[in-house]
Amino acid sequence: MGRNIKDEGEFSILSQQLLLSIAEELKMPLIQIARLSENNRANELKNEITNTVIQETASSALRLIDNYILGVRLTLEPQNFEIEAVSVSSVLYDAGQQLEAIAKNYGVELELNIAGKFGPVSANKQGLQAALVSLGAALIEALPALDNCQLKLHLATHRSRYGVVAGVYADTKQISAQALKTGRKLQLSSRQPLMNLTHSSGAGVFIADAILKAMDLSLMASRHHSLYGIGTVLNPNHQLQLIP
């Protein structure tokens, strides 16, 4: 597992462009915390609610940094991250747990669609979960700013002819293969490469992209019933079927 860093070229998680986009992304939670604190001082009644929002805003910024660091480590030290038999349902469930508080902050409802038996897949559990959380957080922040979009994010899995798909989905066509393709191209030159999808730098999406690449997986646009989303295709692991 693990890709040769040289093969990653300028789109690597080690690239300056990704670092720039993370720096831009991190401005947002810091501005949010500053404004929340400012309002909090003026309105004592709101203190408890605001403190919770501040806490989760800080956590989401820290999670972004941690996911980036994990991507770097996966790229530089692939030998330390084993590919194992992983339950997609359990990874999505855990990702949902991590995203619950930030979703609440943004008024977005989370739904877990993991019904069905999918069997284990081959992946690094920590890496897969980090990629899904990173994607989920990016879409949670984007959904309220999209016109005509239901504020609901689905963490879902289904079987396709290529393997088991795990991803995040919403009812907006703005999440498309074209948006992703254009975003990857513009990542080198634009402060808002995923312009049709998010008002931010889209760092969460690109971190997920890099983490998945480091595991020899790829981030792609996907459909789940009538929903549009992004996720990855995982190979079923036939070596070990007995997992909790």
Partner 1 sequence: MNNLLLVEPDYILGNEYKTGLERAGWNVIIAKSAQSAITAADKVYPDIVILEIQLIEHSGIEFLYEFRSYPEWQQIPVIIQTQVPPSEFFESWDLLKNELGVVSYLYKPHVNLKKLISTANSYIAIKM
Q: Angle at CA 212, nearest 5°, toward 144 and 62?
A: 55
> C-beta of 221: minimal distance to partner 1 in Å?
17
> C-beta of 228: minimal distance to partner 1 in Å?
15
174 binds partner 1 (CB under 8 A): yes
Structure tokens at 162: 């290529």
Q: Which of 1, 36, 101, 186 binds partner 1 (CB under 8 A)?
A: 36
What SS3 class is residue 204? helix
Toward partner 1, which CB reaches closer, 1 or 20?
20
> C-beta of 196: minimal distance to partner 1 in Å?
5
Q: CB–CB of 103/153 below 8 Å?
A: yes
Q: Which of 34, 62, 65, 188 binds partner 1 (CB under 8 A)?
A: 34
> 72-94 burial, b if ≥16 CB within 10 A, otherwise e?
bbbbeebeebebbbbbbbebbeb
CA nearest neighbour of 140 among 97, 106, 179, 174? 106
109 binds partner 1 (CB under 8 A): no
19 binds partner 1 (CB under 8 A): no
> C-beta of 243: minimal distance to partner 1 in Å?
38
Using DSSP bridges, classify how beta strands 152-160 and 109-113 pair: parallel, antiparallel or unpaired.
parallel
Toward partner 1, which CB reaches closer, 49 or 65?
49
Could you tell me how far CA 162 lies from the centroid of its own chain? 21
How far apart, in whole angstroms, are the C-alpha atoms of residue 244 and residue 229? 28
192 binds partner 1 (CB under 8 A): yes
Residue at token pair 């038996």: 117
58 binds partner 1 (CB under 8 A): no
Q: Which of 18, 22, 28, 123 binds partner 1 (CB under 8 A)?
A: 28
48 binds partner 1 (CB under 8 A): no
188 binds partner 1 (CB under 8 A): no
Structure tokens at 21: 């986009």
> C-beta of 76: minimal distance to partner 1 in Å?
31
| Chain residues 133-172 in contact with partner 1, contact rule CB under 8 A | 141-142, 144-147
Q: CB–CB of 235/213 below 8 Å?
A: no
Q: Which of 198, 222, 232, 237 binds partner 1 (CB under 8 A)?
A: 198
Q: Angle at CA 197, nearest 5°, toward 192 and 203?
A: 50
Residues lying near partner 1 in the complex (CB under 8 A)? 24, 27-28, 30-32, 34-36, 38-39, 42-43, 53, 57, 105-107, 141-142, 144-147, 174, 191-192, 195-200
